[in-house]
Amino acid sequence: MKKNYSNLFKPSKKTISKTISLLKAKKLVAIPTETVYGLAGNAYSDIAVSKIYSLKKRPKKNPIIIHYKSLIDSFKDVEINQNLLKLFKKFCPGPITFVVKRKKNSKISRYAHNNLETLAIRFPANKITKKILKKIEFPLAMPSANISTQISPVSAEDVYEEFKNKIDLILDSGRSNIGLESTVVDVTNNIKILRPGSIGIKEISKVLGKKVYTAKSPNKIKSPGMLKKHYSPGIPMVINHNSLPVDGAYIVLGKKFIKNSNVFSLSISSNLREAAKNLYITMRKIKNLNYKKIYVAKIPYKGIGIAINDRLKRASKK
Ligand code: AMP
Ligand code: MG
């Protein structure tokens, strides 16, 4: 069936201007970031933020990351924090989100933070999205552009598959570079990784010169978004599976088994960054090929492999 991509646009002066007008009118747009595609709305507007929750069918208690063009801008909404300054200097703009103390007089819509004392903030690196942020006078509330608990989109077509024509505009800037959601780090007290990502615990610890903890079990208050089931392809998934299955697709790393038509390699050269970039696109492809089950080989628990394992574990939750 031919798809009607009438709301997909390549970034140009005209389409970027249209994106900005829609955002100013409190409408939602899907825009690229280096991690995954985001569903963006004016973070100061209750109307826009409410639309994000309803369109994504996102639980109201799951707060949304706020995206800024600059550190200075974010200080309208959050308290200055030394750890944030150090990590910002090293990694931003980039794929890292900071949980910091929210200012009492912040104008961010309460729907976006659900009255928590904290705010999650990020400074995306994608050129197009940076350009948009520079031309608007408000930060963007922007979770991933997918229905809640499902696979995150890493291309404009993925976003279309999620929302069809329910959003006016999807900016198509090709595949997301990283392909996994940002690292979320809580810098309010002890430094804690709430969600692993491409920037790892070791790199963060090195910059701060102190121990960094990993949130073991989902912490309700600190990170309500750490839902156990997430990133799910909507069909059963079995992880750490080491033999060729006969009743489903098999996601592997490297070359073993790839001559079989039901085997999909995340990276022929076993490169974990490439594997991360290919993970969601591969899961989506397998689902669209109508497989009824996905098996996944063991992925090394190192570097970005830690983030891949985190997503696989949640995607396989029943
Ligand atoms: P996502 O569901 O991908 O948008 O993930 C957002 C992540 O940031 C989740 O882990 C949220 O719990 C976390 N987060 C967002 N806003 C806040 C906040 N105000 N305080 C603490 N964590 C937050
Ligand atoms: Mg998401």
Q: Which residues contact 87 (CB under 8 A, 6 or more apart)?
A: 96, 98, 185, 187, 204, 207, 208
Q: For residue 164, which of 281, 2, 3, 26 has the smallest C-alpha distance?
A: 3
Q: What does 115-180 look like in DSSP terms, one character per residue?
A: T-SEEEEE----HHHHHHHHTSSS-EE--BSS-TTBPPPSSHHHHHHHHGGGSSEEE---S-SS-S
Q: What is the pLDDT of residues 104-148, one digit of tens each?
A: 999 999 999 999 999 999 999 999 999 999 999 999 999 999 999
Look at residue 216 in the predicted model and tell me its pLDDT.
75
Judged against a pLDDT cut of 50, whether residue 1 lies above it is answered with: no
- Cβ contact 232:310 at 8 Å: no
Residue 175, pLDDT above cutoff 90:
yes
Kindly report, residue by residue over 22-72, the tens digit of the pLDDT: 999 999 999 999 999 999 999 999 999 999 999 999 999 999 999 999 999
- CA-closest residue to ligand 1 atom 10: 225
- Among 126, 5, 117, CA closest to 63: 117
Q: Give yes or no for residue 38 CB within 6 A of ligand 1.
A: no
Cα of 211 from ligand 2 centre, angstroms? 27
Kindly state if the Cβ of 39 falls inside 6 Å of ligand 1.
no
- Residue 105's pLDDT is 96
Which amino acid, residue 177? N
The 8 Å CB, 24+ separation contacts for 54-58 are: 55/28, 55/163, 55/166, 55/167, 56/143, 56/146, 56/147, 56/148, 57/147, 57/148, 58/143, 58/148
pLDDT in tens, 211-241: 999 987 655 545 555 667 788 899 999 999 9
Establish whether residue 141 lines the binding site of ligand 1, counting it when its CB lies within 6 angstroms of any ligand atom. Answer: no
In the reported structure, the alpha carbon of residue 16 is separated from the centroid of ligand 1 by a whole-number distance in angstroms of 27
The dihedral built from the CA positions of residue 185, 316, 158 and 271, taken in this order, carries a sign that is positive
Atom of ligand 1 nearest to the CA of 182: 3
pLDDT of residue 59: 94
Q: Best substitution site from 53, 223, 230 to test ligand 1's pocket, by max atoms within 8 Å of Cβ?
A: 223
Task: Report the sign of the C-alpha dihedral through residues 238, 242, 247, 250, in that order.
Answer: positive
Structure pTM?
A: 0.96
Write the pLDDT tens digit of every residue in 272-313.
999 999 999 999 999 999 999 999 999 999 999 999 999 999
Query: How many other C-beta atoms can be found within 10 angstroms of the C-beta atom of residue 216?
Result: 7
- Tell me, using a 6 A CB cutoff, whether residue 144 lines ligand 1: yes
Find out whether 211 and 126 touch, Cβ atoms under 8 Å: no
Any atom of ligand 1 within 6 Å of the Cβ of 118: yes
| pLDDT given for residue 318 in this prediction | 79
Convert 43-74 to b/e letters by CB count within 10 Å (16 or more is b). Answer: bbbeebbbbbbebbebeeebbbbbbbbebeeb
